[in-house]
Amino acid sequence: MRLRTCTANCSLFIYLVYSHNFCIPSSLHLFIMGVEKEIIKEGDGKNFPSVGTRLTMHYTGTLAADGSKFDSSVDRGRPFEFVIGIGQVIKGWDEGVMKMSLGEKAMLKISSDFGYGASGAGNVIPPNADLNFEVELLAIGDQNAPGFSGSSSSCTIQ
């Protein structure tokens, strides 16, 4: 059975998990709000983003429907910087990345209502498209993940 993000039946889901001792793999974290996170590589488990903090990330975005890649900071060789929790990125990133620890790499599976919704994005992301992002949290503010030395050539949202 494949676990998916719960919506209307969320209370029932939580009841079943806790009252029937269902086992959820430690690599899978469910978010109630349209984002599913699967850990690819554990982070430090100690340092987490807070609202208003500047983050440095690598990411690759694909359409959930067919797996086609639409954007990648990895391909450009330039990490992406933004401030978390203030709407600079799609809602799915604000929700999912906030639960990552420094150095963590994860797959975020984002429903369309937490992505670009009915409008899509240009000619690249169709309306109502569910998205997958492989993301890696390289830095929280001035604190870098092991192996990341920072980059003056990152792409930044002001």
Task: Tell me the pLDDT tens digit for each residue of 94-142.
Answer: 999 999 999 999 999 999 999 999 999 989 999 999 999 999 999 999 9
Residue type at 53 in one-letter notation = T
142 backbone dihedrals φ, ψ, rounded to 5°:
-95, 0
- Whether 71 is catalytic: yes
Which among 70, 113, 130, 148 is annotated as catalytic?
A: 70
pLDDT in tens, 34-44: 999 999 999 99
Which residue intervals of 1-117 are DSSP H helices? 10-19, 73-76, 91-97
The percent of residues above 90 in pLDDT, for the chain, comes to 70
The residue among 24 and 58 whose pLDDT is bigger is: 58
Model pTM score: 0.77
Q: Which domains can be identified in the chain, with CATH numbers?
A: 34-156 (3.10.50.40)
- Whether 82 is catalytic: no
The whole-number pLDDT of residue 151 equals: 57
